[in-house]
């Protein structure tokens, strides 16, 4: 390759220098684009990890809520039976409060409480007769 004298800013004098300048410009543009794309990939991976962590946290909280409700449902039935035999206002309030929210088609909490009271009273009456 034969390099000729070139004045800065006057690359039009030599077509070979124009080609080199164009190649350098294209390579630099490709390098900048590649670096930008690498940064975008890093950003998107970080966002994806954050979203998956948030979803996992939400899912874990839902599992905890379900387990808590399951335990409360079991405990509330036992406490409801205990307080169903008590006629105090506190027992009525506590019994109604601890009764789990019914599913569709299930009897209301007050209906369950009254059935429990009747059951306890019937058991007391049966026990007294024996």
Position with higher pLDDT, 96 vs 19:
19
| Higher pLDDT among residues 110 and 62, named by residue | 62
Mean pLDDT of the chain: 76
Which band of pLDDT confidence, cut at 50, 70 and 90, is reported for residue 25? very high
Structure tokens that stand for 27 in this block: 């390579």
Is 0.75 surpassed by the pTM of this model?
Answer: no
> How much of the chain, in percent, has pLDDT values that exceed 90?
25
Provide the token pair at 59.
């899912």
pLDDT in the model for residue 82: 75
């Amino acid at each position: 390759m034969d390099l000729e004298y070139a004045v800065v800013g006057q690359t039009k004098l030599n077509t070979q220098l124009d080609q080199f300048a164009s190649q350098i410009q294209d390579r630099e543009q490709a390098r900048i684009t590649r670096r930008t794309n690498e940064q975008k990939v890093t950003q998107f991976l970080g966002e994806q990890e954050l979203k998956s962590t948030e979803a996992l946290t939400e899912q874990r909280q839902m599992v905890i809520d379900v387990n808590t409700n399951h335990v409360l449902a079991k405990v509330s039935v036992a406490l409801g039976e205990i307080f169903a035999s008590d006629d105090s206002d506190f027992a009525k309030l506590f019994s109604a409060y601890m009764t789990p929210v019914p599913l569709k088609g299930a009897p209301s909490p007050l209906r369950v409480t009254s059935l429990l009271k009747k059951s306890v009273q019937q058991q007391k009456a049966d026990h007294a007769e024996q």
